[in-house]
Protein backbone atom coordinates (compact mmCIF):
# COMPACT_ATOMS: atom_id res chain seq x y z
CA UNK A 1 0.00 0.00 0.00
CA UNK A 2 2.82 2.36 0.90
CA UNK A 3 4.49 1.68 -2.46
CA UNK A 4 1.23 2.45 -4.24
CA UNK A 5 0.95 5.88 -2.60
CA UNK A 6 4.57 6.72 -3.37
CA UNK A 7 4.08 5.73 -7.00
CA UNK A 8 0.87 7.79 -7.11
CA UNK A 9 2.63 10.88 -5.71
CA UNK A 10 5.52 10.52 -8.16
CA UNK A 11 3.09 10.13 -11.07
CA UNK A 12 1.14 13.22 -10.04
CA UNK A 13 4.35 15.21 -9.78
CA UNK A 14 5.44 14.21 -13.29
CA UNK A 15 2.01 14.97 -14.75
CA UNK A 16 1.94 18.41 -13.12
CA UNK A 17 5.44 19.24 -14.34
CA UNK A 18 4.70 18.12 -17.88
CA UNK A 19 1.48 20.16 -18.00
CA UNK A 20 3.32 23.26 -16.81
CA UNK A 21 5.94 22.77 -19.52
CA UNK A 22 3.39 22.29 -22.30
CA UNK A 23 1.33 25.37 -21.45
CA UNK A 24 2.05 27.97 -24.10
CA UNK A 25 3.39 31.24 -22.80
CA UNK A 26 1.95 34.18 -24.68
CA UNK A 27 3.88 37.44 -25.06
CA UNK A 28 0.62 39.40 -24.62
CA UNK A 29 -0.09 37.76 -21.27
CA UNK A 30 3.47 38.30 -20.04
CA UNK A 31 3.36 41.93 -21.19
CA UNK A 32 0.07 42.62 -19.34
CA UNK A 33 1.40 40.98 -16.17
CA UNK A 34 4.66 42.92 -16.32
CA UNK A 35 2.85 46.19 -17.05
CA UNK A 36 0.54 45.68 -14.07
CA UNK A 37 3.44 44.95 -11.74
CA UNK A 38 5.65 47.72 -13.15
CA UNK A 39 8.32 45.26 -14.29
CA UNK A 40 8.59 45.75 -18.04
CA UNK A 41 11.71 44.28 -19.60
CA UNK A 42 13.43 44.60 -22.94
CA UNK A 43 15.42 41.56 -24.00
CA UNK A 44 18.61 41.50 -26.05
CA UNK A 45 21.34 39.10 -27.05
CA UNK A 46 24.61 40.58 -25.91
CA UNK A 47 27.23 38.12 -27.07
CA UNK A 48 30.17 37.06 -24.94
CA UNK A 49 30.66 40.42 -23.22
CA UNK A 50 27.73 42.17 -21.59
CA UNK A 51 26.39 45.05 -23.62
CA UNK A 52 24.37 47.03 -21.08
CA UNK A 53 26.15 50.33 -20.53
CA UNK A 54 25.59 53.02 -17.93
CA UNK A 55 23.74 55.14 -20.48
CA UNK A 56 21.44 52.15 -21.14
CA UNK A 57 20.67 51.84 -17.45
CA UNK A 58 19.89 55.54 -17.21
CA UNK A 59 17.61 55.27 -20.25
CA UNK A 60 15.83 52.24 -18.77
CA UNK A 61 15.33 53.98 -15.41
CA UNK A 62 13.94 57.10 -17.15
CA UNK A 63 11.31 55.01 -18.96
CA UNK A 64 10.66 52.50 -16.19
CA UNK A 65 11.84 49.25 -17.72
CA UNK A 66 14.89 47.03 -17.38
CA UNK A 67 17.15 45.44 -19.94
CA UNK A 68 17.69 41.71 -19.80
CA UNK A 69 20.81 40.59 -21.64
CA UNK A 70 20.87 36.88 -22.48
CA UNK A 71 24.58 37.11 -23.23
CA UNK A 72 25.84 34.61 -25.76
CA UNK A 73 23.29 31.93 -24.84
CA UNK A 74 20.12 32.41 -26.86
CA UNK A 75 16.87 31.47 -25.12
CA UNK A 76 14.94 28.57 -26.64
CA UNK A 77 12.06 30.74 -27.89
CA UNK A 78 13.48 33.88 -29.50
CA UNK A 79 10.15 34.61 -31.18
CA UNK A 80 8.43 34.93 -27.78
CA UNK A 81 10.97 37.52 -26.59
CA UNK A 82 10.92 39.46 -29.88
CA UNK A 83 7.10 39.66 -29.77
CA UNK A 84 7.18 40.67 -26.10
CA UNK A 85 9.73 43.40 -26.88
CA UNK A 86 7.54 44.72 -29.70
CA UNK A 87 4.61 45.07 -27.29
CA UNK A 88 6.81 46.88 -24.76
CA UNK A 89 8.30 49.20 -27.39
CA UNK A 90 4.85 50.07 -28.80
CA UNK A 91 3.65 50.86 -25.28
CA UNK A 92 6.67 52.94 -24.30
CA UNK A 93 6.72 54.67 -27.68
CA UNK A 94 3.12 55.82 -27.13
CA UNK A 95 3.68 56.72 -23.48
CA UNK A 96 7.06 58.41 -23.79
CA UNK A 97 7.12 59.73 -27.33
CA UNK A 98 9.87 60.46 -29.79
CA UNK A 99 12.77 60.46 -27.30
CA UNK A 100 12.12 56.82 -26.46
CA UNK A 101 11.65 55.84 -30.11
CA UNK A 102 14.83 57.62 -31.20
CA UNK A 103 17.04 56.28 -28.41
CA UNK A 104 16.03 52.66 -27.88
CA UNK A 105 18.87 50.31 -28.79
CA UNK A 106 18.65 48.74 -32.21
CA UNK A 107 20.14 45.46 -30.92
CA UNK A 108 17.05 44.54 -28.91
CA UNK A 109 15.08 41.54 -30.12
CA UNK A 110 12.27 42.60 -32.46
CA UNK A 111 13.54 46.16 -33.04
CA UNK A 112 13.50 45.96 -36.84
CA UNK A 113 9.92 44.65 -36.97
CA UNK A 114 8.77 47.26 -34.41
CA UNK A 115 10.37 50.05 -36.45
CA UNK A 116 8.57 48.82 -39.59
CA UNK A 117 5.21 48.66 -37.75
CA UNK A 118 5.66 52.06 -36.12
31-70, pLDDT tens digit by residue? 999 999 999 999 998 877 666 788 889 999 999 999 999 8
In this structure, are residues 90 and 114 in contact, taking their beta carbons and an 8 Å threshold?
yes
Ramachandran assignment for 49, one of left (phi > 0), alpha (psi -120 to 50 degrees), beta (any other): beta
Rg of the chain in Å (alpha carbons): 19
Strand 41-44 with 66-69, pairing: parallel
Per-residue pLDDT of 77-108, as tens digits, reads 999 999 999 999 999 999 999 889 888 988 89
Q: What pTM did the predictor assign?
A: 0.76
Amino acid sequence: MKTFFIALLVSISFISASQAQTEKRLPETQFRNDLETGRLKIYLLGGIAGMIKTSDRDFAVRYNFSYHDFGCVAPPDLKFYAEYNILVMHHLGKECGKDFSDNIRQEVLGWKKWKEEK
